[in-house]
Amino acid sequence: MTYIIVDRGGPRDKQSIQLATRLGNWIRNEQRHERSPASLRAAEEIWRKALPSAELRSSTATYNCVGMVFACRRTWVAPEELELILGDDGHRRVVDRNAVKAGDVVVYKDSDNKPLHIAVVLEARADVRMASTELTVLSKWGADGEYLHRELDVPPDYGTTTEYWTERKEIP
């Protein structure tokens, strides 16, 4: 007997939880099973060696980067949902990297401009010597760990093309 899940991640999928944008549009999501402790430990070991500057905050597979940022770590949300979320939630692009502030988000994209990953900016520190800004971010690496890391200290799958978004409001 072969089963195919219909409407994966949608409102009728029992693996999904109620999750919507500010405008009320459903955000497709699925709650993923936890990986075994041995598997999580192996992931931790691999990334500790590959990217030693990244600091592990938490090890779990039950949510991903988008789930961390927009679903309070409750579920897994595919990066393809980001366009909907950012638009519906009133985020705007920050073109000047030096204007990025803590709380803004970094979206990592591929060469086709499709989102691969997202991180939350924890600290934006001006580097006077380099006339630039150094960003420290927090992000969830797929089904591996949640890490504090420098903006571009990420697994190679996430690429190096980034853009910045904010939902900051100013008093009119």
Partner 1 sequence: MTLEEAIRQIESSEFSAYVNVASGFRVFIRALTISEPVTQLRGLSRDPKVINQLLARVHYISRLSTDPRFENPWDTSLAAYLLTLASANLNAARTAAATVASLPRCWWAARLAESVLAGITNAVGSDTTRHEPIKAKPVPMWDIASPRNEPTFLYLSTSQLPAVLSGHLAVDSKAANHLHRIQLGLLPGGRIRETPPAWGDSDGSTSVVIDARGSA
131 near partner 1, judged by CB under 8 A: no
61 near partner 1, judged by CB under 8 A: yes
Q: In the Cβ-directed half-sphere of 168, how many Cα atoms lie within 13 Å? A: 14
Tell me whether strands 161-166 and 105-109 are parallel, antiparallel or unpaired: antiparallel
Taking contact as CB under 8 A, which single stretch among the options 90-98, 110-118, 130-138, 161-169 is the one that binds partner 1?
A: 110-118
Q: How far apart are CA 140 and CA 142, in angstroms?
A: 6
- Of the candidate residues 55, 97, 142, 153, the single one contacting partner 1 (CB under 8 A): 142
- Of the candidate residues 58, 80, 125, 152, the single one contacting partner 1 (CB under 8 A): 80
Nearer to partner 1, 3 or 18 (CB): 3
Shortest Å distance, C-beta 75 to partner 1 = 13
Hey, is 87 helix, strand or coil?
Answer: helix
C-beta of residue 165 within 8 angstroms of C-beta of residue 91:
yes
Query: What are the tokens at 30?
Result: 């699925």
- Of the candidate residues 42, 99, 102, 152, the single one contacting partner 1 (CB under 8 A): 42
